[in-house]
């Protein structure tokens, strides 16, 4: 079974405050041009996306320099939707190659201590169903350890209690700080 974990990209897609809005313009139509195509304008961190180390780390790897196998791995889902505070190490009950946090849309983020704990565990990536995993320091802890960050995931509740493989493959953007992804889980 495949679970789609990706937000739809459209002009209504919410973006992090200050980031460019997604714009879509009709470029060609079948009636006029014989084919259909849209032109897109969006930031690298629009919709469901992944942060590369270069996003916060000077001379960090850009998205095109990260090996493809880093975007795929055995996943663990942690339901933190019951919390009324940020995610601490004690809340992280299981660790796999890729750790995903289900907040249920609550303003819950990974703490610096939680980020350090995950870095010690040597995971490939971490993800969340919020526009950000946490503050600048959380990003720096994770990305300096080359732990990729997936943000704006959706449908994570469908993974609770399941074993799965996570896929979040980016566009190969030269010198990119991140990329939109088509994220999904294979149960």
Percentage of the chain beyond pLDDT 70 is 100
Mean pLDDT along residues 72-83? 98
Mean pLDDT along residues 148-164? 98
The pLDDT confidence band at residue 172, using thresholds 50, 70 and 90, is very high
What is the predicted pLDDT for the residue at 164?
A: 98
What is the predicted pLDDT for the residue at 21?
A: 96
pLDDT digits (tens, 9 = 90+) for 2-43: 999 999 999 999 888 999 999 999 999 999 999 999 999 999
| Dihedral in degrees, nearest 10, Cα atoms 80, 151, 137, 91 | 20
Strand-pair partners of 164: 75
pLDDT digits (tens, 9 = 90+) for 41-76: 999 999 999 999 999 999 999 999 999 999 999 999
Across all residues in the chain, what is the average pLDDT? 97
Radius of gyration of the chain (CA): 17
Mean pLDDT along residues 74-97? 97
Token code pair at residue 72: 């795929």
What is the predicted pLDDT for the residue at 90?
A: 98
What is the predicted pLDDT for the residue at 20?
A: 96
Report field, pTM of the whole predicted structure over 0.85: yes
Q: Does domain 2-7+45-186 have CATH number 3.50.30.50?
A: yes
What is the predicted pLDDT for the residue at 144?
A: 98
Specify whether the CB–CB gap between 89 and 115 falls below 8 A: no
Distance CA 157, CA 122 (A): 25
Dmax (CA) of the chain: 60
* Domain locations along the chain: 2-7+45-186
């Amino acid at each position: 079974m495949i679970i789609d974990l990706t937000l739809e990209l459209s002009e209504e897609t919410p973006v992090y405050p200050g980031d460019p809005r997604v714009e879509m313009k009709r470029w060609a139509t079948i009636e006029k041009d014989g084919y259909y195509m849209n032109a897109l304008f969006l930031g690298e961190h629009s919709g469901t996306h992944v942060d590369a180390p270069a996003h916060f780390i000077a001379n960090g790897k850009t998205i095109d320099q990260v090996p493809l196998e880093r975007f795929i791995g055995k996943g663990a889902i942690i339901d933190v939707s019951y919390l009324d505070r940020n995610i601490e190490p004690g809340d992280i009950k299981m660790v796999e190659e890729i750790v995903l946090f289900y907040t249920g849309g609550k303003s819950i983020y990974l703490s610096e201590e939680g980020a350090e704990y995950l870095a010690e565990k040597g995971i490939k990536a971490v993800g969340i169903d919020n526009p950000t995993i946490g503050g600048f320091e959380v990003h720096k802890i994770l990305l300096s350890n080359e732990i990729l960050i997936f943000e704006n995931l959706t449908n994570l509740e469908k993974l609770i209690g399941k074993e799965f493989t996570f896929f979040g493959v980016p566009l190969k953007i030269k010198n990119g700080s991140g990329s939109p992804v088509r994220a999904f889980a294979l149960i």
